[in-house]
Amino acid sequence: MHGIRFAETGNCPRVPDTWWQVLTEVLDRLLSSIDRERVVGMAVDGTSGSALAIDETGRPLGDTLMYDQAVEDVSILARIQTHMPPRVQPVV
């Protein structure tokens, strides 16, 4: 097993930089035990959905929202809505 718990990082699991830190550490651990040249693909799976609003450059606009958390900053919803087809309305 090459997992790592968020608690091991000492950081908040809602902060996008924590996700990146954990992902890179897990990949480093995994790839250090195999021949990287033989890797032809990789998949990541999770048990629940989370949302991360990003800007046009891919930078996070705030913390990650877990599947059961409401969006507190309605300006994020307004920005998302400007990119949605006219008939689709966000659930608030």
Instruction: Tell me how far apart the alpha carbons of residues 2 and 30 are, in angstroms, rounded to a whole number.
Output: 6
Helices and strands in the chain, H and E counts:
3, 2
pLDDT averaged over consecutive 10-residue blocks of the chain (92 residues)? Answer: 59 75 83 88 75 83 80 80 74 64
pTM attached to this predicted model: 0.49
H or E element: which one contains 51? Answer: strand 50-51
Rounded-to-integer distance, Cα 6 and Cα 13, Å: 6
